[in-house]
Amino acid sequence: MKVGSLSILSLTMAVALLAPGVSNSAEDIQARTIKFGHLNNTDHPISAAVKKFGELVAAKSGGKMQVREFPSNQLGTEQQQTAALQGGVQEMQSPATTSLVGLVKDYGVIDFPFSVSNYSQAFSLVDGPLGSALLEKLPEKGLVGLGYWDLGFRNVTNSKRPVARLEDWQGLKLRVIPNPVYLETFGVLKANPVPMSFSELYTALETKTVDGQENPFAVIRSNKFYEVQKYLSATNHVYSANVILVSKKFWDKLSTTEQKILKEAFVEARDYQRKISVEAAHKAVDELKAGGMQYNDLSPAEQERMRQAVKPTIEKFLASYDPAIQKLFASETARVQSIK
- Please report whether residue 229 resides in a domain: yes
Average pLDDT over residues 129-137: 98
With a cut of 90, say whether residue 18 has pLDDT above it: no
Could you read off the pLDDT of 183-219 as tens digits, one per residue? Answer: 999 999 999 999 998 889 999 999 999 999 999 998 8
With a cut of 80, say whether residue 14 has pLDDT above it: no
- Please report whether residue 142 resides in a domain: yes
Q: Which of 31, 33, 70, 64 is nearest to 50 (CA)?
A: 70
pLDDT-based confidence at 25, cuts 50/70/90?
A: low
Contact 112, 314 (CB under 8 A): yes
Q: Which of 113, 99, 109 is nearest to 186 (CA)?
A: 113
- Please report whether residue 8 resides in a domain: no
Q: Provide the domain limits for residue 306.
A: 30-115+122-336
With a cut of 80, say whether residue 123 has pLDDT above it: yes
- Please report whether residue 189 resides in a domain: yes
CATH number, domain at 229? 3.40.190.170
Rounded to 5°, the CA angle 158-307-298 comes to 50
- Please report whether residue 2 resides in a domain: no
CA dist 161 and 172 (Å) reads 9
- Please report whether residue 190 resides in a domain: yes
What is the number of structural domains in the chain? 1
pLDDT at position 17 is 44
Task: Give the DSSP H/E element, type plus range, for residue 280.
Answer: helix 256-290
Q: Which of 10, 248, 259 is nearest to 144 (CA)?
A: 248
CA dist 127 and 1 (Å) reads 59
pLDDT at position 7 is 45
Give all strands (DSSP E) within 99-200, no chain letters.
Answer: 143-158, 173-176, 192-195
Q: What's the count of helices (H) and strands (E) in the chain, helices before strands?
A: 13, 9
Contact 234, 293 (CB under 8 A): no
Q: Which residue type is seen at 106?
A: D
Task: Give the DSSP H/E element, type plus range, for residue 92.
Answer: strand 92-93
With a cut of 80, say whether residue 1 has pLDDT above it: no
With a cut of 90, say whether residue 251 has pLDDT above it: yes
pLDDT-based confidence at 27, cuts 50/70/90?
A: confident
Average pLDDT over residues 260-271: 98
* CA-to-CA dists, residue 169 to 160, 190, 211, 242, angstroms: 10, 6, 11, 28
What rounded mean pLDDT belongs to the chain? 92
Q: Percent of the chain having pLDDT more than 90?
A: 86
- Please report whether residue 25 resides in a domain: no
Q: Which of 244, 123, 96 is nearest to 177 (CA)?
A: 96
With a cut of 60, say whether residue 6 has pLDDT above it: no
CA dist 54 and 60 (Å) reads 10
pLDDT at position 43 is 87
Q: Which of 304, 329, 333 is nearest to 317 (CA)?
A: 329
Contact 233, 156 (CB under 8 A): yes
- Please report whether residue 13 resides in a domain: no
Q: Which residues contact 47 (CB under 8 A, 6 or more apart)?
A: 38, 40, 41, 69, 71
